């Protein structure tokens, strides 16, 4: 499947809200919930505006993963960018209908290419111990496992920890 990553825009709010709502239960199987407020349409709209403002200030880059018809398949972000050290923190999620199709892998490749051109030197990521698919995506894209947290938390009756990764980007 051909995909692209496109910077988050004002006009994406409705499609993104629908995507998040449709995939809420699926996402909450792998990551802690964002809470009920996140899914309130007015609060979602305000949060969307705040993300656009943050992106405009250069501290974060928010992308939507889209297919050739511009349907939203997922999100991929680089946040908390340290401009001095050229380090950003990765986050991504792919809708349930699109998992297992290589979309996260392709989107991450595209993001790495884009941020390397913008002089990012390192990308850090974390996932949960139960999210094996995410760990595979990171490792396929050259991320190295740095550590597993000794602190556990409970989610959906399961004891989990965070697994930390990093990718050092070589100059072209």
CATH code: domain of residue 130:
3.40.630.30
Q: What is the pLDDT of residues 55-92, one digit of tens each?
A: 999 889 999 999 999 999 999 999 999 989 999 999 99
**Number of C-beta neighbours around residue 66 at 10 A:** 19
Predicted TM-score (pTM) of this structure? 0.89
- Which residue segment(s) compose the domain that 57 sits in? 3-168
How many structural domains comprise the chain? Answer: 1
Q: What is the pLDDT of residues 106-145, one digit of tens each?
A: 999 999 999 888 889 999 999 988 888 999 999 999 999 9
């Amino acid at each position: 499947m051909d995909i692209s990553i496109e910077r988050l825009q004002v006009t994406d709010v409705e499609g993104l809200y629908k995507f998040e709502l449709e995939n809420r239960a699926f996402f909450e199987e792998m990551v802690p919930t964002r809470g009920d407020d996140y899914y309130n349409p007015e609060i979602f709209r305000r949060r969307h505006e705040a993300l656009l403002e943050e992106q405009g200030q250069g501290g974060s880059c928010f992308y939507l993963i889209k297919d050739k018809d511009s349907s939203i398949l997922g999100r991929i972000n680089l946040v908390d960018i340290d401009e001095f050290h050229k380090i950003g923190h990765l986050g991504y999620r792919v809708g349930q209908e699109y998992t297992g199709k290589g979309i996260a892998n392709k989107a991450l490749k595209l993001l790495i290419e884009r941020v390397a051109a913008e002089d990012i030197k390192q990308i850090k990521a974390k996932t949960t111990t139960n999210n094996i698919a995410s760990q595979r995506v990171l490792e396929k894209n050259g991320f190295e496992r740095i550590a597993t947290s000794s602190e556990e938390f409970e989610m959906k009756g399961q004891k989990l920890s965070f697994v930390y990764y990093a990718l050092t980007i070589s100059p072209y």
